[in-house]
């Protein structure tokens, strides 16, 4: 809290701050470990990793695990589509969730109860693989980009999260806009959206990470159209290459390959490759929900 700094700290406050810092440092260490461990193994020679005991620092440094990944064709094409779907999917998802959340936050909205129930149930009913597949096929979305975006446009979870945030905003803001002659859409656009930045940033993060990480839709619907392949799907292929155990056909070749690379090392390197872009974008979203904001400024 920026404001807290100006405040003269009491002794109790100081003790609290010390304890809190220690707790936070502990959390920092405990949660940093798995990621650093993954990083260390990804930078370690496979044949050495097998011996175990790699924690935070690579024992036999190499970039080979990464070079194995980047050798594959299709990664670049996949990355482009992944970025595109992340952007388009996030925008679509934000629009739908924020609009629905706004309408459902209005106690006076006639259809509020019905729509809330209708949406809530979508979270708990699952139709199964086959009917969903047939629907997507009948909508002509197989082998197309839109299968990544359209089926997931409406997410009830996101709607309710945003609505809970809107519920916390003073209703008077809407009232005064209304008195100024604004219609409901204008209120949504001019009053609600700007105030919702923290929660929108959060939901954008969820949507983007979901889009970025998904591969199953590529697998089900677009596996035979290389132009719509995604990064995660291509990386799945890379991982498969190193895990394939059923290759009784080529036991000798397999043994040779395994000498140089192991699925564990590849998995670790892939984790890093897909996480780094998220980490790069993250600070831009983080600033909206970590630093406090003062509603007073908006009110005035």
Partner 1 sequence: MESTTKQASSRKRDQAASLNSRKTGGFWKLFKQQRYLYLMSVPFVIWAFIFSYVPLWGWLMAFQEYKPARSFFDQKWVGFDQFITLFQDQQFYLALRNTLAMSFLGLIFGFIFPVIFAILLNEVRGMVFKRTVQTVSYLPHFVSWVVVAGIVTKALSTDGGIINELLVSLHIIDQPIQFMAQGQWFWGIVTASDVWKEMGWSTIIYLAAITGIDQEQYEASRVDGAGRFRQMWHITLPGMRTTIIVLLIMSIGHLVSIGFEKQFLLGNNLVTDYSQVLDLYALKYGLEMNRYSYGTAISIFNSVISIILLFTANGIFKKTTKESIM
Partner 2 sequence: MPSKLFRYALAPLVVMSLVTATACGGSDPTEQETSDPSTPITISFFGSDASPTWNNMKDDVGQAITKATNVTINAEYDVSGGGTQKIALMTASGEYPDMIFPKGSITKLVEAGALIDLTDLIDKYGPNIKKVYGDDLSRLKYSKEDPSIYVIPTNAGVGQTTFDAGGGFEVQNAVMKELGYPKIKTVKDFENVLKEYKEKHPTINGQPTIPLSLNADDWKIMITVTNPAFNATGAPDDGEFYINPETYEAQLHYKRPEEKEYFRWLNHMYNEGLLDPETFTQKSDQYMSKIASGRVLGLIDQEWDYQQAENSLKTSGMAERTYGHYPVQLDEKTKDRSFQDIGAPVGYGIGITTSAKDPIRIIKFMDWMASDEAQVLNNWGVEGKQYEVKDGKRVVPAAVQERKVNDNTNFTKESGIGMYNFSVRYGDGVKDPGGNYYTTNFPEQIIAGYTDPEKETLKAYGAKTWKDLFPQKDEFPVKAWGAAYNLPAPDDPNYTVNFQKSQDIVRKRIPEAILASPDQFDKIYDQMIAEISTDDMKKMEAEYTQMIKDTVELWGEAPAAK
Return the residues of window 273-292 that contact partner 2 according to CB under 8 A.
Answer: none
As a whole number of angstroms, the distance between CA 84 and CA 275 comes to: 17
As a whole number of angstroms, the distance between CA 42 and CA 45 comes to: 8
By CB under 8 A, is residue 91 in contact with partner 1? Answer: no
By CB under 8 A, is residue 172 in contact with partner 1? Answer: yes
By CB under 8 A, is residue 273 in contact with partner 1? Answer: no
As a whole number of angstroms, the distance between CA 182 and CA 172 comes to: 14
Going by C-alpha positions, the residue among 79, 96, 81 that lies closest to residue 207 is: 96
By CB under 8 A, is residue 20 in contact with partner 1? Answer: yes
Contact 215, 232 (CB under 8 A): yes
Residue 300 site contact among partner 1, partner 2, none (CB < 5 to 8 Å, cut-off depends on kind): none
Whole-number CA gyration radius for the chain: 25
Other CB atoms within 10 Å distance of the CB of residue 247: 12
Interface pick for partner 2 out of 1, 2, 30, 130 (rule CB under 8 A): 130
Interface pick for partner 1 out of 43, 94, 104, 235 (rule CB under 8 A): 104
Contact 188, 201 (CB under 8 A): no
Q: Which 44-63 positions form the footprint of partner 1 (CB under 8 A)?
A: 52
Q: Which residue, 255 or 290, is less far from partner 2 as judged by CB?
A: 255
Q: Which residue, 164 or 225, is less far from partner 2 as judged by CB?
A: 225
Half-sphere exposure of 5 (CA within 13 A, CB side): 2
Q: Which residues bind partner 2 (CB under 8 A)?
A: 46-48, 50-53, 68, 71-73, 114, 117-118, 121, 129-131, 133-135, 137-138, 219-220, 223-224, 233, 236-238, 240-241, 244-246, 248-260, 262, 264
């Amino acid at each position: 809290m920026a404001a807290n700094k100006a405040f003269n700290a009491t002794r109790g406050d100081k003790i609290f701050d010390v304890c809190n810092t220690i707790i936070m440092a502990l959390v920092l260490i405990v949660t940093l470990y798995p990621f650093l461990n993954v990083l260390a193994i990804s930078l370690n020679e496979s044949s050495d990793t097998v011996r175990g005991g790699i924690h935070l620092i690579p024992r036999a440094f190499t970039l080979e695990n990464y070079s194995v990944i980047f050798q594959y064709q299709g990664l670049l094409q996949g990355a482009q589509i992944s970025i595109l779907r992340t952007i388009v999917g996030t925008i679509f998802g934000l629009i739908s969730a924020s609009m629905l959340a706004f309408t459902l936050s209005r106690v006076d909205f006639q259809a509020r109860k019905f729509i809330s129930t209708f949406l809530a149930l979508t979270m708990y009913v699952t139709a199964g693989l086959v009917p969903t597949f047939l629907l997507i096929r009948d909508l002509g979305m197989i082998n197309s980009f839109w299968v990544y975006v359209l089926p997931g446009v409406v997410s009830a979870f996101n709607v309710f999260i945003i609505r809970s945030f809107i519920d916390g905003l003073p209703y008077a803001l809407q009232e005064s806009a209304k008195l100024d002659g604004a219609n409901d859409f204008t209120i949504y656009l001019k009053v609600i959206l700007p105030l919702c930045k923290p929660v929108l940033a959060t939901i954008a993060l969820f949507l983007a990470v979901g889009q970025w990480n998904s591969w199953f839709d590529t697998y089900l619907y677009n596996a035979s159209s290389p132009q719509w392949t995604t990064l995660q799907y291509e990386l799945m292929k890379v991982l498969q290459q190193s895990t394939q155990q059923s290759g009784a056909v080529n036991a000798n070749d397999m043994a040779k390959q395994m000498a140089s690379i192991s699925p564990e090392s590849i998995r670790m390197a892939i984790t890093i490759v897909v996480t780094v872009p998220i980490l790069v974008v993250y600070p831009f979203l983080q600033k909206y929900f970590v630093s406090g904001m003062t509603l007073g400024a908006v009110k005035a």
